[in-house]
Amino acid sequence: MTINKKTTKSNNKKKTISDYDTVNKVPNYEVSELAFVSKNTKQYDALIAAIQKEEMAPYYLYLKEQDTNMPFDQTIYEQLVQKNSEKIKELKDEITKNEENDEGELEKAYCWVKLGEYYAQIGDVENSLTTFEKASSASISLGGKIDIMLTIVRIALFFNDQVKAQEKLNQADEMIEKGGDWERRNRFKTYKGIHLMAIRNFQEASELLVDSLTAFTSLEIASYEDIAVYASVCGILSLNRNDLKTKIIDSPEVLVAMSTSEPLQAIISLAISLYTSDYSSFFPFLLQTREKVFLPSKFLNPHTDFFLRQMRIKVYSQLLQSYKTLSLKSMADSFGVSIEFLDSDLGKFIPTKQLNCVIDRVNGIIETNRPDNKDAQFNCLIKQSDSLISKLQKYVASVKITSD
């Protein structure tokens, strides 16, 4: 939740909305990412240290059930349970005190938010959601309700529950349309971009994540370097050549983040290889992107094979569109691969019409057969016409309402 209590000069001073106006990093997304990496590498020391720091007894137990290889120390668990019980009692006592003293609605809501955030911090999903519902039902501002909804989205993304994330994003969107401020709109844009990327909607995710880079403040959900990587991955898959150059390769925001991010360096090197048609470096950078960007990422890992396949289709299509016929040897030499590998790889995409060409293995050539695009142009014209008619109808209706 973005409400965070600031220190006041006097405990008796009535608090205002500005006293609850920073974003807390709960749950800590880095722990979830550590859990993903640890499960794959079987290295758990950093994860367990992070769990202890965040006092995450419920999450520790949850991971034990999810990953049978993770070492589970009963003593550590009991110590964390004790810390959780003490902190929860303290927060509940504060709620009781505020209710007995009949404090204002904002103060009461803040107390519920603090408890909900602690539940979220330790990985107790059920209690965190119940508590946030109580906080949201209080007479707080629309902005406060949006903050609560975005916190629940963070919890869903922490556990990679994309169904719950979608549900809460829809609710947050409705609230924001009623009066969300600039900062909350930007945070929503980042959250939704991550969710869309996670469910493989790279086109829409690209638009949101690229826009997020210019005014990124959502450090509670991801680092700046992470967002730059996500935007670059989605961009290289969905942007056309010119937009890839201006929005990703030459982006000042991406260039700034590159110096401290090996994953970003890998994906940008791949993008440059594609843009400049430097085919000899394409496969090395593609493999590097697989190792440094996709495999270690909780959100991107499930899409590794899809990404590798789509990038090969994209680069093959880019080379073939310049030729009517091309020898297999020449194309293989361009990519620095064997003829056998290229023949086999192209054969995965030709039967499904993902590449518009045929292989003449006897003569060792590839013949392109570009489809007639008149139907596509006609469909595009119809779609644009429908959009124009819809806009004109809305305009006419608005003019009529105004005149009435």
Q: How far, in Å, CA of 222 to CA of 123, rounded?
A: 18
The confidence score (pLDDT) of residue 383 equals 60
CATH of the domain at 43: 1.25.40.570
Can you say whether the dihedral through the CA atoms of 268, 271, 277, 279 is positive or negative? positive
Domain edge (last residue) among 147, 180, 213: 180
How many independent structural domains does the chain possess? 3
User: Based on the domain organization, do 174 and 27 belong to the same domain?
Assistant: yes
Tokens standing for residue 85: 């019980």
Domain edge (last residue) among 118, 153, 180: 180
The confidence score (pLDDT) of residue 105 equals 76
The confidence score (pLDDT) of residue 268 equals 98
Examine residue 270 and state whether it is found in any structural domain, yes or no: yes
User: Based on the domain organization, do 315 and 335 belong to the same domain?
Assistant: no
The confidence score (pLDDT) of residue 180 equals 82
Examine residue 188 and state whether it is found in any structural domain, yes or no: no
CATH of the domain at 362: 1.10.10.10
Examine residue 13 and state whether it is found in any structural domain, yes or no: no
Q: Kindly state the DSSP code that residue 358 receives in the 8-state scheme.
A: E
Instruction: Name, in order, each residue with C-beta under 8 angstroms of 109's C-beta and a sequence gap of 6 or more.
Output: 3, 135, 138, 139, 140, 144
SS3 per residue for 152-175: HHHHHHHCCCHHHHHHHHHHHHHH
User: Based on the domain organization, do 32 and 147 belong to the same domain?
Assistant: yes
Examine residue 345 and state whether it is found in any structural domain, yes or no: yes
User: Based on the domain organization, do 331 and 263 belong to the same domain?
Assistant: no
Examine residue 262 and state whether it is found in any structural domain, yes or no: yes
User: Based on the domain organization, do 27 and 175 belong to the same domain?
Assistant: yes
User: Based on the domain organization, do 135 and 32 belong to the same domain?
Assistant: yes
User: Based on the domain organization, do 116 and 36 belong to the same domain?
Assistant: yes
Q: How far, in Å, CA of 279 to CA of 244, rounded?
A: 17
Q: What is the pLDDT of residues 8-65, one digit of tens each?
A: 333 444 444 334 457 899 999 999 999 999 999 999 999 999 999 999 999 999 999 9
Q: How far, in Å, CA of 24 to CA of 3, rounded?
A: 8
Tokens standing for residue 388: 């124009």
Residue range(s) defining the domain that contains residue 278: 198-321
Predicted TM-score of the model (pTM): 0.86
The confidence score (pLDDT) of residue 153 equals 98
Give pLDDT < 50 ranges for the chain.
1-20, 401-402
User: Based on the domain organization, do 316 and 370 belong to the same domain?
Assistant: no
Q: What H or E segment, with its residue span, contains residue 367?
A: strand 365-368
Examine residue 1 and state whether it is found in any structural domain, yes or no: no
Half-sphere exposure at residue 397, Cβ-oriented, CA atoms within 13 angstroms: 6
- Grouping H, G, I as helix, E, B as strand and the rest as coil, residue 128 is helix
Q: How far, in Å, CA of 263 to CA of 29, rounded?
A: 18
Q: Of 28, 342, 298, which Cα lies nearest the Cα of 161?
A: 298
Cα-flanking dihedrals φ and ψ of residue 172, to 5°?
Answer: -65, -40
User: Based on the domain organization, do 72 and 136 belong to the same domain?
Assistant: yes
The confidence score (pLDDT) of residue 102 equals 74
The confidence score (pLDDT) of residue 101 equals 82
Residue-wise burial string across 93-123, b where 16 or more C-beta atoms lie within 10 A, e elsewhere: ebbeebeeeebeebbbbbbbbbbbbbbbbbb
User: Based on the domain organization, do 385 and 305 belong to the same domain?
Assistant: no
Examine residue 185 and state whether it is found in any structural domain, yes or no: no
**Residue position matching structure tokens 């349309």:** 177
User: Based on the domain organization, do 49 and 139 belong to the same domain?
Assistant: yes
User: Based on the domain organization, do 224 and 241 belong to the same domain?
Assistant: yes
Domain edge (last residue) among 321, 349, 364: 321
Examine residue 189 and state whether it is found in any structural domain, yes or no: no
